[in-house]
Amino acid sequence: MSLYSIPMFRIFYFKGKSLMSLTTFLQQCLTGISLGGAYALIAIGYTMVYGILRLINFAHGDIFMMAGYFMIFAMASLPWFIALPVVLIVTTALGVGIERVAYKPLRSAPRMSVMISAIGVSYLLQNLATYLFTALPMGYPEVPGLKKVYQLGGLSASFVTFLTPVLTLILVYLLITLIQHTKMGMAMRAVSKDYETASLMGIDINRTISITFAIGSILAAVGSILYFTDRMTVFPFSGSLPGMKCFVAAVFGGIGSIPGAVVGGFLIGMGETALVAAGYSTFSDAFTFVILIVILLVRPTGLFGEKTTNKV
């Protein structure tokens, strides 16, 4: 098999002619990794909430979108180093608030009801944003330094492109440490397995669920800052497509698994960028959903999915 028959290398050689230099290829990889990092941060929110509530939180993409608006308004009146924590706090409050109002009262209801409630919240947030901020895209403010272009060898990219994957990996490392090695993480793992037994251990179920939503929302807010700094504008539906893609990333990696969501996020981000680079940008969104269909057909539990059989 020649290299030519592998699609990735066809970018380099087409009919024997080089189409893309190595530098361009690495440049695209960097873009893909960076996009993937932002996706990974959002996908973690889906996977964590699924892990603990068995709920696909359809409102998560819209929380991400709202975080974009919060940043616009925070930066309009505050210096950036105050605006950033304010955005994180307000987004967290929104995520936890949604859980309290829309999901908590349905704790003992069938799962389908909670999911419908989540879809309702998603539409509510989109329409609320349209009503409050109009459907016109608003310019995303720039945190000083993030857009500054750096050269690394032949590669040139803005600081945010380099920062995103690094920050993502640091946050994921912290999160996994939290879950594996702290009491709070132990409580989260216990609640995600068995509410009743967890409460028999003295674990406050509602508090643990709130913490899970808080963590998911903080990561979505960080993801939103990184993503929108690159995209420059926010509009009321800018959360819906990335939200769906990150959901696919979570399913791809195996919903419920945090490393799975991260790997899924990076793979989807890189795959999309590769398609754009290869000139098929019209198909880049479709690509994500083809992956969803294929993974559901071939390996429904995803790459790192939960084993469903346990000896009990």
Q: Cα torsion at 143, 167, 122, 212 (round to 10°)?
A: -130
**Least Cβ distance, residue 47 to another protein (angstroms):** 16
Return the residue matching tokens 């990889």.
Answer: 29
**Which residues does 106 contact at the CB level (< 8 Å), separation at least 6?**
113, 114, 117
230: number of CA atoms within 13 Å, CB side? 21
Contact 198, 210 (CB under 8 A): no
**Cα–Cα dist 93/84, whole Å:** 14
Cβ proximity to another protein, 137 vs 185, nearer residue? 185
**Least Cβ distance, residue 210 to another protein (angstroms):** 14
Binding to another protein in span 219-258, by CB under 8 A: none
**Least Cβ distance, residue 52 to another protein (angstroms):** 14
Residue 263 makes contact with another protein by CB under 8 A: no
Helical H segments across the chain, by residue range: 7-10, 22-53, 60-77, 80-98, 111-133, 159-181, 183-193, 195-200, 205-231, 240-253, 258-277, 284-298
Near another protein by CB under 8 A: residue from 128, 200, 241, 294: 200
Residue 194 makes contact with another protein by CB under 8 A: yes
**Least Cβ distance, residue 207 to another protein (angstroms):** 9
**Cα–Cα dist 207/138, whole Å:** 36
- The one-letter amino acid code at 106 reads L
For residue 175, the tally of other CB atoms under 10 A from its CB is 19
Cβ proximity to another protein, 53 vs 292, nearer residue? 53
Cβ proximity to another protein, 161 vs 208, nearer residue? 208
Residue 197 makes contact with another protein by CB under 8 A: yes
Near another protein by CB under 8 A: residue from 2, 108, 282, 310: 310
**Count of residues in contact with another protein, rule CB under 8 A:** 19
Residue 193 makes contact with another protein by CB under 8 A: yes
Residue 196 makes contact with another protein by CB under 8 A: yes
Only segment of 22-30, 124-132, 203-211, 218-226 that touches another protein (CB under 8 A): 203-211
Residue 201 makes contact with another protein by CB under 8 A: yes
Q: Cα torsion at 211, 216, 220, 223 (round to 10°)?
A: 110
The token duo for 35 is 């996009």
What x-and-dash track marks residues 161-190 binding another protein by CB under 8 A?
Answer: ----------------------x--xx-xx
DSSP string, 237-264: TTTHHHHHHHHHHHHHH-TT-HHHHHHH
Near another protein by CB under 8 A: residue from 78, 155, 205, 214: 205
Near another protein by CB under 8 A: residue from 24, 158, 199, 284: 199
Contact 62, 265 (CB under 8 A): no
**Least Cβ distance, residue 198 to another protein (angstroms):** 8
**Least Cβ distance, residue 51 to another protein (angstroms):** 11
Only segment of 144-152, 224-232, 265-273, 304-312 that touches another protein (CB under 8 A): 304-312
**Least Cβ distance, residue 254 to another protein (angstroms):** 14
The residue among 94, 48, 97, 47 whose CA lies nearest residue 67 is 94
Residues that bind another protein (CB under 8 A): 183, 186-187, 189-190, 193-194, 196-197, 199-205, 310-312
